[in-house]
Amino acid sequence: MLPETASSKSEPALSLTNFEVKDEELPQFRDMRFENINELHLDHPGASDEDYRRRRDYIASLSKNFRETGAITDVEYTEQEQAIWRIVATRLEEIQSRRASAFYLDAKEKLGISTERIPQLSEMNKRLNKLCNFRLAPIEGLVETRGFLSWLSYRTMLCTQYIRHHSRPEYTPEPDIVHEAIGHIPNFTNCDFADFSQFIGHGARIATNEQLEELGRLYWFTVEFGLVEENGELKAYGAGLLSSFGELENAFTDNVERRQFDLEQVINTPYDYSDMQPILYVIPSYSYLKETTRKYIESFNEK
């Protein structure tokens, strides 16, 4: 997510009890603002690779089609891109077998996510919609925080379709299909987590700038870098952990302070996305996270 400053207090009060979103209730995607989608920074591994940049532009054009048609266009990934996926997914799977939640590992199977090939958003979208009424929508790259989070209120996750540069398969400075498919998407098969995400989206639509910063921290320490208690053990569920070799191993070492989840503390804890995370928060369950967040978002309408 990218930072942004525009307030959206003109949004009406939102109900936090209706978890069903029908296709006809979705806003027109082409009417949403995406002016802050980033170009590749000079320090990006693929910044000086013209072939990679052209490929990124092509995949971005497929993502843009969704805004007009509402249909996800499959990407015909190259053999090089498939090879990158196999390298990353295979190594992550070994670590995840020890560190990821059992729910997450089961969810990957339900969605057909394997080490053999890059999954298509269209395939995962169909399965996800049947499981928890959640959707995926392709996007070219990073978007501003409010715009990104607001789409969660429609039970829709904006996802990239490109893959990281071949020179650094273990690293990406931005979300890619590895981060989306291996990190984020499996969690939405848990309906409590899907509902929690929808609450975050509701909050983003009505939050003041200060509240939006708090939501960003809540998102960071849960969706991206969350731990959960599972049968007496600590397991990873955050996408930033599950899609990173280094972060996933580091999360369970003495380098990290693991704290019990406290909402007030979480929304006031700063973070640095450019380094290994020194602090992680542990939730007792997804249902606890859902209910705690619901009460927090309800307070937005009272201020």
Q: Please list the active-site residues.
A: 179, 184, 224, 243
Task: Take residue 265 and report the two structure tokens written for it.
Answer: 């503390």
Q: How far apart are CA 7 and CA 157, in angstroms?
A: 21
Q: How far apart are CA 161 and CA 121, in angstroms?
A: 8
Q: How far apart are CA 133 and CA 191, in angstroms?
A: 9
Q: How many CB atoms sit inside 10 A of residue 284's CB? A: 12
Q: How far apart are CA 142 and CA 2, in angstroms?
A: 6
Where helices occur in 73-190 by DSSP H, the ranges are: 79-99, 102-110, 121-132, 145-150, 177-178
Q: What are the Cα distances from residue 86, in Å, to 83, 136, 182, 204?
A: 5, 23, 12, 36
Strand partners, 203: none
